[in-house]
Structure 1
Amino acid sequence: MQTLHLTAEEEAMLGGRDGDGVALAMRVIIGQARISDAPRLVEITSAHVDSCLYHGQVSLDFAHRLVELGARVRVPTTLNVGSTDLIHPILVRDQELAAAGRELMSAYVELGCTPTFTCAPYQLPNRPGLGEHVAWAESNAIVFANSVLGARTDRYGDFLDVCAAITGRAPYAGLQTTEARRGTVVFDCRPLGDFLHSELAYPLLGHHIGSVVGAGIPVLVGIPAQVSEDDLKAFGAAAASAGGVALFHAVGVTPEAPREFADLPVHEVDLDTLHRVRRELSTTGKLDAVSVGTPHASYAECVRLAELLKDGPPLKVPFYLSTNRHTRERLKGSELDLLENAGVTVVVDTCTYVTAILSPDWKNVMTNSGKWAHYAPGNINVNAVLGSLAECVASARAGQVVLE
């Protein structure tokens, strides 16, 4: 085990110079650094905190203790989804959970965090750049920051994330280091051909690759250079859910993708494989509701949904769109009016697979998200159907599953 070296500034924080809250947070960071055999800590420029999602009394106890000790974040800190929609509280069916969630979300705002309440902080202004050290929690945010932005964050769980924000430090270990960011296995996606130009390719590809590599670092060959950030978001979210992927490289697309990888094992991905994945993720042919926007829908995705709903027959089943406050503000006006007038329920601050928003009577739900299709059956006891955004709209209008 390496000796952990602290700077004079870090020793002072640990010794209580900046108060008991900072000292507590530093003890947590140092404990993790020793577990991960880090030689030192690294200064971070931002944090994204997942601890604001309520998981029981311990969530409140820890946050309240930090507040009582006078702790405040010292780097810009965004907040992940919480357990309630603060703008539309009536949407949450479990009001006891909503009350606890509201209390927890408020405590993190008291610590100086920005009340973004989104799982997609990379859609907000001032996102980190290439090589920037950050401490982000939430699996899809981690993989996007590392892969698409080229920032550096390891996987940080609850409590560790806010302690990094309070100290401005994280262990220099894992994906904070250069050597840990090298690819481990190649996936040749070229056999997929034109299917790679469809949005459905990316949640399916992500789920497949995550299932194969676990916590490995995949290198993707054949991804079109014009692939959108929304497609990369969908891929990363599914790969992080089905496996433990925290970084991927897409050759010719992402900033750290290698040019040489002849020494790595290679897997080919074909259409039959992705058709099988779709069958695995689609466990019903019935339809009670539709839920899209996991991770939170971007402005471009919301606009596209509005365009799909502009003309055509009315929706026959409930339709939910999850997005963040920032995007909802951009939509205010004709686009938001169009969505809501078409029958779409816009959810912010949370997500329909982590909070009791959908009716328990709805057992068959369609989504465009590989992550939602992976988690929702276990979390909220539904059968899922995975489709493109256009298929979700067509199905909601027909009142039954419609696949191209």
Structure 2
Amino acid sequence: MMRLTSEQQEIYDGKKGETYAKIMETLVRYGELFGAEEMVEVTGKYGHLVTSFGLQVINPVYKLMDELIGAGVISKQQFTMDPRPLDRNVPSNVIQDLVFYKFMYSEQKRYEKQLSKLGLKSKDSFSCACYFDEQGNRPKKGDILSWAESSAVVYANSVLGARCNRNSGIIELFGSILGCVPKFGLLTDEGRKATWKVEVKTTKLPPAQVLGSAIGMKVMEDVPYVYGLSDFLGKELTPEVCDYLKNFGAATASNGAVGLYHIDKLTPEAVELGESLIADNARTYVIDDAEIQRVIDSYPIIWKNKDAKPKMCFIGCPHLSKSELIGWIHDIYEGVKESGKKTTTIPTVLTAAPGVLDAIRGSKEESMAEEIHLTLSYICPLMYCDNPLVHSVPIITNSNKLRTYTSCRFYEDKKILQMITGRGRM
């Protein structure tokens, strides 16, 4: 039986009511499955929940929420959410709108009301990149978190030096409600040691999405310690470097199941502890130019017609930072103008956090996007694309995460820009 503090034991024994007791028992059982011997206090200011979509088929979740609300349960810490699945600004047809709003995500409004009662940080707290300054959920080094979103967890662990396991389902909500989580895995010093040494020996900086994909598919859920990347990125976590690591980490987490990586001479724990983070008998994986190309060539094309003309493009999975959003708008705008066109050749959606979109409201970049008919949205591209109605639509993306979970076809940034602007078309 897991060791509990006197306060935790009282909750477990039902002194705060049956509902709190069930929540504690769930966390205890969950922790014991992974060998946890005790709970640890959640010290991060906010939680983060992954289930942000009001799918009709997850009715048990809404029943659970009603039970929690009915019992007067309020989360000890407020929480942010993954992106919303719906945005009427995103191109869609009548049938898609009917299915999305009347059937698939018909419980969205009800669900968001439930979340607000339980502790949602704000009505705009919906982004997979909750750690952006504009979203206000940026943990500090050493903070213990109760989070679930894979790309957010790997960023918090690796780039920010916080501590969090990749919790599942409703577990992260329960951790926020009680203010404690089982101590195992990436919450422990031993669990944060690297069991893989990855040597990057490429002639130039590898594409973040491809390098992350290669490492994720190789190490799976293990922790890699990466050499050579700081030769290209430097030894400072600048905003541009953080953007690179955001996209790199998202690919390691989706193409594999990485929850933490260390970059030699760059990420906080690697700077502080160096090679002492590497476990005995760690395996080695060498990545050179040929390996990068092999990985790209291995991606399956699952369009019915492999030669189909793309009908749509999504950029921003995970959500774009402010600098990324502005950069893409300028690059696309200039490409469209240079090609002598008035709009993009393919309907293109740039997705970013609500706070990031607010930050460029009224700016010249917003006007540029409107002029060439770029769609700026807070939507979750994965939720838009992962359904039978869209599977048959040839959609392109620069996101390895979106490629992995949907029928979208992956291209590197340079090729994406060429395809959506018509500039230098081959």
For the criterion TM > 0.5, the same-fold answer is: yes
Alignment-derived partner of residue 257 in structure 2: 244
1 CA distance for matches of 2:119 and 2:386? 28
Gap change, CA 1:363 and 1:247, over 3 Å in 2: same
Q: Does residue 223 of the first structure (1) align with residue 229 of the second (2)?
A: yes
Contact 2:148–2:168 (8 Å) recurs in 1 = yes
Gap change, CA 1:212 and 1:178, over 3 Å in 2: same
Superposed CA offset, 1:54-76 (max 9, x none): 45222222222222222111113
Superposed CA offset, 1:22-43 (max 9, x none): 3332222112122222111011
Superposed CA offset, 1:138-189 (max 9, x none): 1111111111111000111111111111101100111111110000011100
Stretch moving more, 43-52 or 291-300? 43-52
Q: Does residue 293 of the first structure (1) align with residue 281 of the second (2)?
A: no
Alignment-derived partner of residue 360 in structure 2: 331
Alignment-derived partner of residue 114 in structure 2: 107
1 CA distance for matches of 2:259 and 2:359? 30
Alignment-derived partner of residue 22 in structure 2: 24
Q: Does residue 57 of the first structure (1) align with residue 59 of the second (2)?
A: yes
1 CA distance for matches of 2:150 and 2:295? 21
Alignment-derived partner of residue 399 in structure 2: 369
Q: Does residue 155 of the first structure (1) align with residue 173 of the second (2)?
A: no
Superposed CA offset, 1:339-368 (max 9, x none): 2332112221x3122135997386322211
Alignment-derived partner of residue 210 in structure 2: 204
Q: Secondary structure at the match of 1:99?
A: coil
Contact 2:157–2:163 (8 Å) recurs in 1 = yes
Stretch moving more, 232-241 or 269-278? 269-278
Contact 2:386–2:405 (8 Å) recurs in 1 = no
Please show how residues 180-329 of structure 1 align to structure 2 within 5 Å. 180-189=191-200, 191-196=201-206, 201-224=207-230, 225-226=233-234, 228-257=241-270, 258-260=273-275, 261=278, 263-281=281-299, 283=301, 284=306, 286-311=309-334, 312=337, 313=341, 314-329=343-358
Contact 1:43–1:170 (8 Å) recurs in 2 = yes
Alignment-derived partner of residue 48 in structure 1: 48
Q: Secondary structure at the match of 2:110?
A: helix
Q: Secondary structure at the match of 1:321?
A: strand
Superposed CA offset, 1:295-344 (max 9, x none): 01111111101211333132121101111111111010122232233211
Q: Secondary structure at the match of 1:236?
A: helix
Q: CA deviation at 1:12?
A: 2.7
Stretch moving more, 336-345 or 367-376? 336-345
Q: Which amino acid aligns with 1:47?
A: G
Alignment-derived partner of residue 410 in structure 2: 385
2 CA distance for matches of 1:50 and 1:376? 18
Contact 1:282–1:373 (8 Å) recurs in 2 = no
Superposed CA offset, 1:177-216 (max 9, x none): 1110000011100x212234xxxx1110111111111111
2 CA distance for matches of 1:356 and 1:295? 14
Contact 2:77–2:119 (8 Å) recurs in 1 = no
Q: Secondary structure at the match of 2:396?
A: strand
Would you say how many aligned residue pairs link Structure 1 and Structure 2?
387
Q: CA deviation at 1:108?
A: 1.2
1 CA distance for matches of 2:295 and 2:112? 36
Q: CA deviation at 1:97?
A: 2.0
Contact 2:195–2:281 (8 Å) recurs in 1 = no
Alignment-derived partner of residue 237 in structure 2: none
Gap change, CA 1:307 and 1:23, over 3 Å in 2: same
Contact 1:289–1:362 (8 Å) recurs in 2 = no
TM-score (normalizing by structure 1): 0.88
1 CA distance for matches of 2:91 and 2:77? 33
Contact 1:290–1:320 (8 Å) recurs in 2 = yes
CA RMSD of aligned residues (A): 2.5
Superposed CA offset, 1:205-241 (max 9, x none): 1111111111111111011343611111111111111
Q: Which amino acid aligns with 2:283?
A: P
Alignment-derived partner of residue 33 in structure 1: 31
Q: Which amino acid aligns with 1:6?
A: L
Gap change, CA 1:51 and 1:28, over 3 Å in 2: farther
2 CA distance for matches of 1:289 and 1:89? 10
2 CA distance for matches of 1:356 and 1:208? 23
1 CA distance for matches of 2:89 and 2:15? 42
Contact 1:203–1:235 (8 Å) recurs in 2 = yes
Q: CA deviation at 1:20?
A: 4.2
Gap change, CA 1:234 and 1:356, over 3 Å in 2: closer
Q: Which amino acid aligns with 1:41?
A: M
1 CA distance for matches of 2:313 and 2:300? 13
Q: Does residue 175 of the first structure (1) align with residue 186 of the second (2)?
A: yes
Q: CA deviation at 1:88?
A: 5.1
Gap change, CA 1:21 and 1:88, over 3 Å in 2: farther
Contact 2:202–2:288 (8 Å) recurs in 1 = yes
Q: CA deviation at 1:13?
A: 2.6
Q: Which runs of no fewer than 5 residues in structure 1 stay unpaired?
A: none
Q: Does residue 13 of the first structure (1) align with residue 11 of the second (2)?
A: yes
Q: CA deviation at 1:268?
A: 1.0
Q: Which amino acid aligns with 2:128?
A: C
Q: CA deviation at 1:372?
A: 1.1
